[in-house]
Amino acid sequence: RHVANFQLSIASVIENSSSDCLAQDLHLQAQQLAERLKCDSVVSEISAGPGTVNFTINRELLAKTVLQQVWKDGSEYGVKSELFSTVPREKAVIEFSSPNIAKKFHIGHLRSTIIGNFIANLKVALGHEVVRINYLGDWGMQFGLLGVGFQSFGNKEKLKSSPLQHLFEVYVQINKAAEDENTKKLAKDFFRKLEEHDEQTLSIWKQFRDLSIEEYVRIYKRLGVHFDEYSGESFYQEKAQEVLKMLEDKGLLQKTVKGTGIVDLSEKKDLSTFSTVMRSDGTSLYITRQFLIISFRDLAAAIDRMNKHSCDTMIYVTDKSQSNHFQHLFQILELMGYDWAKRCQHVSFGLIQGMKTRRGEVIFLEDVLNEVRSRMLQNMTSTKTTKEIKDPVETAEKVGLAALIIQDFRGLLSSDYQFSWDRALQSRGDTGVFLQYTHARLHSLEQMHGNAELTDVNVACLQEPDAISVLQHLLRYDEVLYRSSQDLQPKHIVSYLLTLSHLAAVAHKTLPVKGSAPEVAQARLCLFQAARSVLANGMKLLGITPVTRM
């Protein structure tokens, strides 16, 4: 006997059904209702259970509808659902990744990069227009130090061959001398010249910036990430002054006794909450997003983006320690009269703890990518099938990246989590490696038996419970996309894909293609193709490139 697909609880539809309504009464009412309802082309069976009416869906119709829809919509399956028919198409600017030149590209930047990329992918898939912005930390006193450091410890060859590494080394060395009065003075002079647009100083700075961006682009390419715009703090020097003037003109800038510039954010205007925007020496505070200090640059950047892109929404992807910063930023923009600030959003995430490479602490993103690739390659080499792969290194990179992304996206983004290489790289269980393995396995099934033509498929051959489980799950894909589009959390898609992979793995065992009658084999092949197609679509949204062999 088939298990019912849907259940209606009688207690939920009876008026004044109180808890003292006897179970046998409910059962009787369920039986009476079940007898009065009629089956149709969709519902093939109606029966009564203890206080419930059970409905079984016409299985052939289910199989036909789902397979046709997946076949017809291809990479747009789920996106074309009526769930999205009332959602207006929008333009979104997304700021993510945003590392600081000459400083560590720490693991928080990795999280910001993959989360921002996911949000952008999802929005594009749903038909929105997206501008991806990387807002670099490319200005500030540290460039004074860096300029002086490069004059003492710099090497032009090393700067060209590995700029991120070399500038970081120079910065570490000069920082040791940063307390020295003479070094301090030189650094201040260098940065002053930079602010005054001294040509020689600017050209040194520009070289640091350009070579760093070149290297970032190469590393982002390994991650499968791109940006439409590389912006940075340096862009907003003059515009920051305009913002200062606007705040003064609107009477929003107040001075404390010590001369610090603040903006009152309290409802009653009693300074119970305020934001500091200016030091007592008149310089704007743009080095520290961490300490509730709003820089004129951040305000200027937001206004400039809105003017330039006239977007419907602006999304900032950074760690949760900056939540107050963005709350204040949006509040000040509103006080300045910018209503669009209500449509700005901060997507925050927690910290990754315990990510180390074999060489120790992670300093550069590339260290993580190299580590995950080498560990994955080692795991693959110990399995029998790897020798058939054309490019094992590239495959190891794609599978390793899937492992990192799934471990990161499994929980709520705002949660901190403990990183574990062993857990991330397991081939069984809820991991990115398992998703890739399932995709490769389903792909090799198609390679072996050819593609099934949907027109030739007899869906009556897909009546087994394991086939129905896969079909019902495929039917739910649009709901999952909708949930993720509402709260921008990838975990809904991750758990959907992991379940799909487990269901497909079971069906792969119990519903063999090889050795089955041609008609049955064709129908099963069609089912597995649909599962692989949806699995690939979901993986790509998450920023994973599906592999076809591993």
- Check if 109 is active-site: yes
Is the pLDDT higher at 142 or at 154? 154
Distance (Å, rounded) from C-alpha 87 to C-alpha 79?
11
Sign of the dihedral through C-alpha 408, 413, 415, 416 = positive
343: nearest Cα among 314, 366, 319, 383: 314
Whether residues 66 and 171 share a domain: the answer is no
Mean pLDDT of 187-207: 93
Whether residue 496 sits in one domain with residue 516: yes
Q: In the predicted model, is pLDDT for residue 281 greater than 60?
A: no
Packing angle of the helix pair 323-335, 296-309 (nearest 10 deg): 70
Q: What is the pLDDT of residue 16?
A: 61
pLDDT band, residue 180 (cuts 50/70/90): confident
- Are 405 and 306 within one domain? no
Domain span at residue 49 reads: 6-57
Query: Do 285 and 278 touch, CB atoms closer than 8 A?
Result: yes
pLDDT of 291 reads 39
Query: For tokens 């704007």, what's the residue?
Result: 284
pLDDT tens by residue, 210-226: 999 999 999 999 999 99
**Whether residue 388 sits in one domain with residue 505:** yes
Domain count, the chain: 3
The predicted-structure confidence for 366-425, as pLDDT tens digits, reads as follows 888 999 999 999 988 887 665 578 889 999 999 999 999 999 999 999 999 988 888 888
Q: What is the pLDDT of residues 92-102, one digit of tens each?
A: 999 999 998 87
CATH of the domain at 497: 1.10.730.10
Same domain, 304 and 196: yes
Residues 196 and 101 in one domain: yes
Q: Per the domain annotation, does 281 fall within a domain?
A: no
What is the CATH classification number for the domain harbouring 228?
Answer: 3.40.50.620
In this structure, the answer to whether residues 185 and 311 fall within a common structural domain is yes
pLDDT in tens, 341-356: 999 999 999 998 888 7
Residues 77 and 169 in one domain: no
Beta carbons within 8 Å of 230's beta carbon, 6+ residues apart: 134, 136, 213
Choose the most confident range, by mean pLDDT, from 163-172, 356-365, 402-411.
402-411
Record the pTM. Answer: 0.91
Number of Cβ within a 10 Å radius of residue 455: 6
Beta carbons within 8 Å of 420's beta carbon, 6+ residues apart? 354, 407
Average pLDDT, the chain: 90
Of the candidates 80, 91, 103, 502, the residue annotated as catalytic is 103
Residue 209 lies in a domain: yes
- 548 assigned to some structural domain: no
Distance separating alpha carbons of residues 148 and 170, to the nearest angstrom: 9
Active site residue 103: yes
Q: Does some domain include residue 277?
A: no
**Whether the predicted pLDDT of 11 surpasses 80:** yes
Asked whether residue 230 falls in the same domain as residue 337, the answer is yes
Q: Is residue 1 in some structural domain?
A: no
Which residues, in sequence order, are CB contacts of 176 under 8 Å at separation 6+? Answer: none
Percentage, residues of the chain above pLDDT 70: 94
Residue 223 has a CB neighbour count (10 Å cut-off) of 20
| Buried-exposed string 101-113: b where 16+ CB fall within 10 A, e elsewhere | bbbbbbbbbbbbb
Look at residue 128 and tell me whether its pLDDT is greater than 60. yes
Asked whether residue 133 falls in the same domain as residue 35, the answer is: no
| 78 and 183 both lie in a single domain | no
The verdict on 159 and 306 lying in the same domain is yes
- Note whether 468 and 59 are within 8 A (CB): yes
Kindly state whether residue 143 falls inside one of the protein's structural domains: yes
How far apart CA 317 and CA 113 sit, in angstroms, is 8
- Mean pLDDT over residues 328-334, rounded? 94
DSSP conformation class of 87 = S
Is residue 521 in a domain? yes
**Spatial separation of the C-alpha atoms in residues 97 and 287, rounded to whole Å:** 17
Assigned domain for 344 exists: yes
Is 443 annotated in the active site? Answer: no
Q: Assign 290 a pLDDT band (cuts: 50, 70, 90).
A: very low
DSSP H or E run through 148: helix 141-153
